[in-house]
Structure 1
Amino acid sequence: MRNRTLLNGFIFISTIFIVNSSFAETVSLEYNGFYDRLKQVNKQNYPLVELAFSVPITPDCTIVSGSITTEKEQFPLTYTKQQRLFIPYDPQLKSDRGLVNINVVGDAAQCGIAMQVRAKETKQSFTQTELLALTNDMNKLLDGLQGFPMKYFRKPINGLTFEFAEIQADGKTIKVVIDDVESMANEKFTLTLEQITQLKNISFTHKPSVVSPFVSQ
């Protein structure tokens, strides 16, 4: 059984089944679900944005290893310390009914896969034109993921969120400059669409690690 929830660009997908072992628990998901979403991105032209899959970091869900398997083959699963998963776009894996297997320490029942729309590249400064182009691509991609007719019930993006979680972990402060006006940011800094349409430039003392959609509740 699957459950999906969309929140600020994240779609959370519950695990399909869980296998217990003495040292860790394995969360296994059908590759087909990843492929269908990656196909939507690959068949359209979204030059500025991408889909990122990850396992949200919690005390009960820490990745220790992973693999992609079929009945005949096994491949390593690439992931980062932030638990972002790099899932290949491969029609053969779909045809072979591949599985994405994630070995975690903790309570695997608390684990889930998050799918986020985000900017392909981040920078220390953006113009208004660049920010509007980002929101446009994000809206188009989210519409495609929702599918017809659900895209007409999706809330449009209300702005952009800039994340500095990795930088904050190092104890660094973030200064934000919007058209020569300075302010400070914590782990996240949000610009509403109204603010974007009123600014000319925005810059940060450190490059954000993630730029993602902001959707008001």
Structure 2
Amino acid sequence: MNKGLLFSCLLVAVTSVQAAPISIPYQGFFQRLKQVNKGNYPLVEIAFSVPNKSKCLIKSGTITTETESFPLTITQDQRIFLPYDARLKSDRALVNLDIKGSADNCNISMQVRAKNTKQSYSQKELLELQAEMNTMLSDMQGFPMRYFSQDIEGINFEFESGSQTSVKIDGQRQVFTDKLRLSQEQLNKLSVVEFDTKPLVISPWTHG
């Protein structure tokens, strides 16, 4: 299993059928957040989300203990924002998702990504971003699974699904749909990358 599988794998596989809401122990999320908070990562973060929106639509979400309940912030693309709170872990909190669709199609994924995105990047900025992604993944190695500590192969830039985006790399313009990948070799050669709109997500590109 290579490093890429850590953030592209299914963090939680929900197997119950027609369960509404789905309840997942907060402890698993806390352990992953703890690994990240132990490090110094000004540029990157981990994001939890529910993919396959057409088959698993989140209507609402809460985090609950035996005595308290708090609403969760969930974005249109179904990213779930979870607090980092040791008290919630000790209180055995649950993450509850009220869904539309079969629970068989609902999975929670974890992704390493840039905290913020912008329309242009210098080579120095991209290499710093890539280095921090590598460091975060290495720091998380072996938890909760062991995998080979291969460096990432480059960087993904993701845009609105179905959209065409223009990019200039050292003045050379090209148009692409949905996603642009820049390999390590390309990153080492370029000077500046300029998009006509900000990427939605910037994440590591890994093998597999």
What TM-score results when the alignment is normalised by the length of structure 1? 0.88
For the 8 Å contact 1:9–1:213, the answer to whether it is kept is no
Corresponding residue for residue 125 of structure 1: 120
CA distance in 2, matches of 1:8, 1:128: 26
CA distance in 1, matches of 2:63, 2:13: 15
What is the number of residues matched between the two proteins?
205
Among residues 169, 174, 179, which one is paired with 1:178 in the alignment? 169
Could you say what the CA RMSD is over the residues aligned between the two structures, in angstroms? Answer: 2.1
Post-superposition offset of 1:166: 5.7
SS in 2 for 1:206: coil
CA distance in 2, matches of 1:150, 1:135: 21
CA distance in 2, matches of 1:61, 1:52: 18
Corresponding residue for residue 142 of structure 1: 137
Stretch moving more, 139-148 or 89-98: 139-148
Post-superposition offset of 1:204: 0.2
Distance 1:117 1:77, change over 3 A: same
Please tell me the residue identity of whatever aligns with 1:39.
K
Q: Which runs of 5+ in 1 are unaligned?
A: none
Post-superposition offset of 1:145: 1.7
Instruction: Confirm or deny that 1:205 pairs with 2:196.
Output: yes
Q: Relative contact order: is structure 1 or structure 2 higher (C-alpha 8 Å, sep ≥ 6)? A: 2
SS in 2 for 1:155: coil
Instruction: Confirm or deny that 1:13 pairs with 2:11.
Output: yes
Among residues 100, 103, 106, which one is paired with 2:98 in the alignment? 103
For the 8 Å contact 2:7–2:109, the answer to whether it is kept is no
Corresponding residue for residue 92 of structure 1: 87
SS in 2 for 1:34: helix
- Identity among equivalent positions (%) equals 47
SS in 2 for 1:45: coil
Runs (4 or more) in structure 1 with deviation over 4 Å come to none
Corresponding residue for residue 206 of structure 2: 215
Q: Which runs of 5+ in 2 are unaligned?
A: none
